[in-house]
Amino acid sequence: MSKEMTAEVFLGDISKHRMKIPLDQGIYRHLRFAQPENSNLWFDLVTWPGVLTIHGDMGTWTFSRVQDMFTFFRSEKLKINASYWAEKLQHGTHGGRDGALVWSDDLFREQLLDRVNDSGLKGEDLKVVLDALQNEVLCQDNKYELLIAARDFSCKIPSRESERYGSFQFDACDLPKGKEYHYHFLWCLHAIVWGIQQYDAAKAQTGAA
């Protein structure tokens, strides 16, 4: 991703947002967050027993875990748990985190480099493999070329003569996943936590439970 999603970035995006509450009947809620003058980056939080959906400019994501999902996401600080929360996603006939993940060329390259650096190779052996990796794999400019090049990569290791142990290559059946959480998904997780904070603050001001 060209821009990292952080709490600071999110707070900058929603600095002018205001909350409206079209529905607030126990666990049945509909909260809307938007700027007064335009609809840029608006979002809704909707809950019913066992389910929370966030819907708006940054996408639609539905989660299910406990009866009141506000208790699941509620936090005093703007912290998220992307890995755990993604497990609670609901979509189609299957749930799970895969729907929140997106391919990243840069991450795949980093993961390949990590595997080489963690392989135990040292000195000239490591340098030769890293140079070959750069020239044959990391220089590829799209997902499919990267995957094919990584699958076919094989580099002779200078200090080893045996054909069996004298080369470095990746396990074609266990290549890095090259996936990270989608920027929009992370934005929406921040939005859920922040939105619940605004709701709780409004409730506290009116003395509601």
Q: Is the pTM of this model over 0.85?
A: no
The model's pLDDT over 27-67, given as tens digits with 9 standing for 90+, comes to 999 999 999 989 999 999 999 999 999 999 999 999 999 99
Place 165 in a pLDDT band, splitting at 50, 70 and 90.
low
Residue 17 has pLDDT above 70, yes or no: yes
Place 206 in a pLDDT band, splitting at 50, 70 and 90.
confident
Residue 207 has pLDDT above 80, yes or no: no
Give residue limits of the domains in the chain: 7-102+181-206, 105-177
pLDDT of residue 84: 94
Average pLDDT over residues 76-104: 86
Residues 90/62, Cβ–Cβ less than 8 Å? yes
The token pair at 6 is: 């952080």
Residue 76 has pLDDT above 90, yes or no: no
Residues 102/179, Cβ–Cβ less than 8 Å? yes
CA angle (34 as vertex; 29, 36 as ends), nearest 5:
125
